[in-house]
Amino acid sequence: MNLKMFRSQVRAAVMKSPGQGAIPLVMALSLGLAGCGKPPAAQPPPPPIVTVSTPLDREVTDWDEYTGHLVSPETANINARISGIIEAAPFKEGALVKKGDVLFIIDDRPFKADLENKQANVVKDEAQVALTKAQLSRSDDLLKKKTISQQEYDSSKAGFDQANAQLTADKAAADTSKLNLDWTRVTAPISGRVSRMYITVGNLVNGGAGQATLLTTIVSVDPMYCYVSVPERSFLKYEAYARRTKGENVRDAKIPCFMQLENEKGFPHEGTIDFIDNSVDPGTGTIQLRGVIPNPKGELTPGLFAQMRITGSGPYKTLLVPDLAVGAEQNERYLMVVEKDDTVAVRKVQLGELFGSLRSITEGLKPDERVIVNGLQLVRPGGKVTPKSAPISAEAIAALDASTSGIDTTHSSPDAPAKSEP
Q: Which among 218, 242, 258 is the end of a domain?
A: 218
pLDDT at position 332 over 50: yes
Q: What is the pLDDT of residue 285?
A: 94
- Considering the domain architecture, whether residues 101 and 161 belong to the same structural domain is answered as yes
- pLDDT tens column, 315-326: 889 999 999 999
CATH code: domain of residue 120 = 2.40.50.100
**Phi and psi at residue 311, to the nearest 5°:** -70, 135
pLDDT at position 47 over 50: yes
In a domain, 45, yes or no: no
pLDDT at position 414 over 70: no
3-class SS of residue 209: coil
Look at 27-41, 88-102, 329-343 and tell me which has the smallest mean pLDDT.
27-41
Q: Which among 218, 246, 274 is the end of a domain?
A: 218
Task: Output the average pLDDT for the chain.
Answer: 86
pLDDT at position 53 over 80: yes
- Considering the domain architecture, whether residues 9 and 112 belong to the same structural domain is answered as no
- pLDDT tens column, 357-378: 899 999 999 999 999 999 999 9
- Considering the domain architecture, whether residues 173 and 211 belong to the same structural domain is answered as yes
Question: Average of pLDDT values for 247-265?
Answer: 85
* 103-135 burial: b if 16+ Cβ within 10 Å, else e: bbbbebebbeebbeebbebbeebeebbeebeeb
Q: What is the pLDDT of residue 131?
A: 94
Show the domain range for 9: 3-35
In a domain, 417, yes or no: no
pLDDT at position 273 over 60: yes
Cα of 328 vs its chain's centroid, Å? 31
Instruction: Say if residue 189 is preceded by a cis peptide, omega within 30 of 0.
Output: no
- Considering the domain architecture, whether residues 82 and 164 belong to the same structural domain is answered as yes
In a domain, 300, yes or no: yes
**Mode of pairing for the β-strands spanning 386-389 and 49-53:** parallel
- Considering the domain architecture, whether residues 199 and 134 belong to the same structural domain is answered as yes
- Considering the domain architecture, whether residues 93 and 207 belong to the same structural domain is answered as yes
CATH code: domain of residue 300 = 2.40.30.170
**Mode of pairing for the β-strands spanning 75-79 and 286-293:** unpaired
- Considering the domain architecture, whether residues 212 and 333 belong to the same structural domain is answered as no
Pick from 420, 67, 73: which is nearest to 275 by CA?
73
- Considering the domain architecture, whether residues 208 and 90 belong to the same structural domain is answered as yes
CATH code: domain of residue 357 = 2.40.420.20
Strand order of the β-sheet with 75-79 is: 75-79, 214-219, 192-194, 96-97
pLDDT at position 180 over 60: yes
Q: What is the pLDDT of residue 9?
A: 59
- Considering the domain architecture, whether residues 226 and 276 belong to the same structural domain is answered as yes
Q: Which among 199, 218, 237 is the end of a domain?
A: 218
Q: What is the pLDDT of residue 18?
A: 52
Burial of 239 (0-12, 13-18, 19+ CB in 10 A): middle
CB 258 within 8 A of CB 64: no
In a domain, 230, yes or no: yes
- Considering the domain architecture, whether residues 83 and 162 belong to the same structural domain is answered as yes
- Considering the domain architecture, whether residues 209 and 156 belong to the same structural domain is answered as yes
- pLDDT tens column, 89-134: 999 999 999 999 999 999 999 999 999 999 999 999 999 999 999 9
Distance between CA 280 and CA 121 in Å, rounded?
62
- Considering the domain architecture, whether residues 294 and 324 belong to the same structural domain is answered as no
Q: Which helix (H) or strand (E) holds 67?
A: strand 63-71
Q: What is the pLDDT of residue 265?
A: 85
As for how many domains the chain has, the answer is 4
Distance between CA 335 and CA 345 in Å, rounded?
8
Cα distances from 207 to residues 117, 172, 184, 215, in angstroms, run 21, 20, 11, 11
3-state helix, strand, coil in the chain (%, to 5): 30, 30, 35
In a domain, 43, yes or no: no
Residue spans of beta strands (DSSP E) within 262-410: 269-276, 286-293, 305-311, 316-322, 327-329, 332-338, 344-355, 358-363, 370-374, 386-389
Distance between CA 397 and CA 403 in Å, rounded?
10
Q: What is the pLDDT of residue 178?
A: 97
Other CB atoms within 10 A of residue 330 CB: 5
pLDDT at position 417 over 50: no
